[in-house]
Amino acid sequence: MKNSSAVNKRKATPIEIEKEAFRKIGYQLIDTIANFMDSITEYPVTKGESPLQLQVLLGNSGMPENGLSADEIISRSTDLLLNHSLFNGHPKFMGYITSSPAPIGILADMLSASVNQNVGAQLLSPMATEIEKQTIGWLAEFIGVSPRYGGILVSGGNMANFTAFLAARTAKASPELKDDGLTKTNSNLMVYCSKSTHTWVEKAAILFGHGSKSVRWIPTDSENKMDNEVLSKTIKEDLKLGYQPFMVIGTAGDVSTGVVDNLKKIASICKQNNLWFHIDGAYGAPAAILPELKNLFDGLGDADSIALDPHKWLYAPLEAGCTLVKNPQHLINTYSSHPEYYNFSKNEEGKSLNFYEYGLQNSRGFRGLKVWMALQQIGSNGYKKMIAEDIELSKLLFDLADEHLELEAITQNLSITTFRYIPSQNLPENIEKKEIYLNTLNEALLDTLQQDGKVFLSNAVVQGKYCLRSCIVNFRTSEQDIKEIIEIVINEGTIIHQKLTTNK
Ligand SMILES: *Cc1c(COP(=O)(O)O)cnc(C)c1O
């Protein structure tokens, strides 16, 4: 039988899209996406539509009994998404920590879905496994830690931190724990972190059976860094009381104001007490590539494990997180098991690299491709430039807010700036009442800004002050955008202040 006739006689199924049709729909989609990216500044950041409005648009018909044409489905989906989404790729999006997606990542995801590799096992994903391994090596190189670090790509920062948390526990808890569990081994394991650590810690403590009381929230000092004296003291006291400290978490770029803990000092406290040192660098770690920030990140390479998020400051499209572990064997000790129906352990050159043995997932998508491609397209110099620019723009916002009579600049770290609107007239005289009013006003201002689509900011509460918060992980944001944001905030602020004061 000739090859061509074999191809032509492919079985007819409701799922296949015939080659010419696939090309046509595919090219159209690419055209639409290219136009969308090119004209993104003409879109509002969001239309602020309510869930109810969107449900009406979507309609409430049941699932189709007979299939529709792929062409129609793609046009309608594109229309729904391009006209009714909140665009984190917009130059004036700077809320939370969500980046504009690298265009090459969009193509990478399409290629990745086409080969549909299961990167849980090397046997099933020979090249993809090697690419992910290389990506992990590059990420370690990127943040400037030893090439000994190995690890795994995961869905994001939470999963990256969870993955490290369990590895820390396996490494430091009694060896019986894996079989006997927390109760039977009388485990009183304790975790230490600053009070500004991301909520994942509490989730991990609950998920893995330690309970939220096993987290010691250490206060922060005047610079908002973990107070390492209190940390030392708390560990000592806990040891006296019979607790088992096992892990300290340092943060490299806290989610609220971007502060980096004194990592070197935490590393030495961990060493003294034989504790696992984990760094949550989900947001900030990539900034360690900047030579001018070398001191700020001193101690990064002392960590037993590091979490970082390529879908934040490396601009990968969601989702991509990464756990790096200084001695990756700790991951295998934690996650590897060999059921009889798996025949994945060997290849011709010896032991194979199966990522299912390095983390919580079994079947794994090929999320490494988009990170790997972006790292090559941009290069370390390209990243240095873009990360430094994000920081510069954040400083510019801080400076402009500082100069403005009706704005108070509050914090600036990495690419996060917090500030608030303070109208010059019609404020309560009483200081306490004034502060309460300013919190109400800025909260109302943020709610409006998040709905009206001109700029997207989020919030932070700094020493009791409700602030507007901008986090720039956005290669599209320009100086002009920053200047315009100041105007938008002042204009909206004035209107809301008027409303609030005349309503009284
Ligand atoms: C974003 C972030 C997380 C959570 O990461 P996800 O990717 O949202 O799961 C955890 N820690 C820090 C410091 C973060 O910035």
Residue with tokens 């609950």: 206
Domains of the chain plus CATH, in order, are: 117-365 (3.40.640.10), 380-502 (3.90.1150.170)
Rounded distance between C-alpha atoms, residue 467 and residue 443, angstroms: 8
Closest C-alpha to ligand 1, atom 5: 157
Q: Which atom of ligand 1 is nearest to the CA of 96?
A: 1
- Who wins on pLDDT, 286 or 345? 286
The reply to whether ligand 1 has any atom less than 6 angstroms from the CB of 97 is yes
Rounded distance between C-alpha atoms, residue 108 and residue 145, angstroms: 27
The reply to whether ligand 1 has any atom less than 6 angstroms from the CB of 309 is yes
DSSP secondary structure of 190-243: EEEEETTS-THHHHHHHHTTS-GGGEEEE-B-TTSSB-HHHHHHHHHHHHHTT-
The answer, yes or no, to whether residue 194 has pLDDT greater than 80, is: yes
The reply to whether ligand 1 has any atom less than 6 angstroms from the CB of 255 is yes
pLDDT digits (tens, 9 = 90+) for 426-461: 999 999 999 999 999 999 999 999 999 999 999 999
Q: Which atom of ligand 1 is nearest to the CA of 156?
A: 7
Rounded distance between C-alpha atoms, residue 503 and residue 131, angstroms: 61
Instruction: Quickly state the pLDDT bin for 1 (edges 50, 70, 90).
Output: very low
* Neighbour-count burial for 73-107, b at 16+ CB within 10 Å, e otherwise: eeeeeeeeeeeeebbbbbbbbbbbbbbbbbbbbbe
pLDDT digits (tens, 9 = 90+) for 366-405: 999 999 999 999 999 999 999 999 999 999 999 999 999 9
pLDDT, residue 337, reads 82
The answer, yes or no, to whether residue 12 has pLDDT greater than 90, is: no
Using the mean position of ligand 1's atoms as its centre, give its distance from the Cα of residue 232 in Å: 26
Q: What is the mean pLDDT of the chain?
A: 95
pLDDT digits (tens, 9 = 90+) for 474-501: 999 999 999 999 999 999 999 999 999 9
The reply to whether ligand 1 has any atom less than 6 angstroms from the CB of 157 is yes
By CB neighbour count within 10 A (0-12 exposed, 13-18 middle, 19+ buried), where does 211 fall?
A: exposed
Instruction: Quickly state the pLDDT bin for 10 (edges 50, 70, 90).
Output: confident
Q: Are 444 and 450 in contact (CB under 8 A)?
A: no
The reply to whether ligand 1 has any atom less than 6 angstroms from the CB of 321 is yes
Q: From residue 303, give the alpha-carbon distance in Å to each of 36, 197, 227, 277, 446.
A: 42, 16, 18, 5, 37
Query: In the beta sheet, which residues pair with residue 323?
Result: 152, 307
Sequence-ordered list of residues with C-beta below 8 angstroms from that of 116, at least 6 positions apart, any chain:
366
pLDDT, residue 236, reads 98
pLDDT digits (tens, 9 = 90+) for 258-306: 999 999 999 999 999 999 999 999 999 999 999 999 999 999 999 999 9
Within the chain, how many helices (H) and strands (E) appear? 16, 13
Closest C-alpha to ligand 1, atom 10: 157
pLDDT, residue 363, reads 98
Closest C-alpha to ligand 1, atom 3: 157
Is residue 464 left, alpha or beta, with left meaning phi > 0 and alpha meaning psi from -120 to 50?
left
Q: Best of 162, 207, 254, 283 to mutate for ligand 1, by most ligand atoms within 8 A of CB?
A: 283
Using the mean position of ligand 1's atoms as its centre, give its distance from the Cα of residue 481 in Å: 26
Closest C-alpha to ligand 1, atom 6: 157
Closest C-alpha to ligand 1, atom 8: 157
Using the mean position of ligand 1's atoms as its centre, give its distance from the Cα of residue 200 in Å: 8
